[in-house]
Amino acid sequence: MSVRAAYEQWASTYDTDRNRTRDLDQMVTERVLSRVRGTQILELGCGTGKNTALLARMGEHVHALDFSAAMMERARAKLSFPNITFTQADLTLPWPCADGAVDLIVGNLVLEHIADLPHIFAEAWRCLKPGGHLFICELHPTRQYMGKQATFRHNEIDTLIAAFVHHVSDFFKDAAHAGLTLIDLQEWWHEEDQDKPPRLVSFLWQKRTV
């Protein structure tokens, strides 16, 4: 099953399934972005909108992208903010965003499904205003080394969604090559993750002004 087809199928239960990774990601996003400001925000892989409401409260306008129509329909149905625009888009292609148009780009639990990290960082650099920020929160690669990946249950069948392993060094190297400066890196555990490797890793980069 393709990644797109998997998320189309998962959309109906994504918000109600027990999912510690999803819940931790939401907490991490709120905590890290409390220190960041941006009026024009681009969200990568908005899904059912679990972080979109926070972004809508932060900025003047949020452009939320996702390649799953079913996931975005869930987001539209539950979010009534007038400052959100939803667009179906494939992040592996050029993004529907003008050069230097946004203050903040946010991506959550999406890059594990994308092989080409350099493309993501190049597009982020292109779309960001000078001094703008890129926030990424992803499944920690140590979890992937243990065989963990996005999984959902449908009709009593567990479906593993295809994923690529990106080492922490890959994020460092590819973001720096694109011209982004790392200003924050943190590892995160769910409260039930005692004596386990970190569940998530988050990064905050800034587009250099010179």
Which parts of the chain sit beneath pLDDT 50? none
Average pLDDT score over the chain: 92
Q: What pLDDT score was predicted for residue 19?
A: 85
- Side chain identity, residue 162: A
Instruction: For residue 3, count CB atoms less than 10 angstroms from its CB and return exposed for 0-12, middle for 13-18, buried for 19 or more.
Output: middle
Q: What pLDDT score was predicted for residue 210?
A: 67
Residues shown for the chain: 210
Domains of the chain: 3-207 (3.40.50.150)
Q: What pLDDT score was predicted for residue 102?
A: 98
Q: What pLDDT score was predicted for residue 21?
A: 92
Q: What pLDDT score was predicted for residue 153?
A: 72
Q: What is the pTM of this model?
A: 0.93
What would the pLDDT profile of 134-155 be if each residue is shown by its tens digit?
A: 999 999 999 889 887 777 777 7
Q: Please give the Cα distance from 151 to 63 (Å, whole number).
A: 27
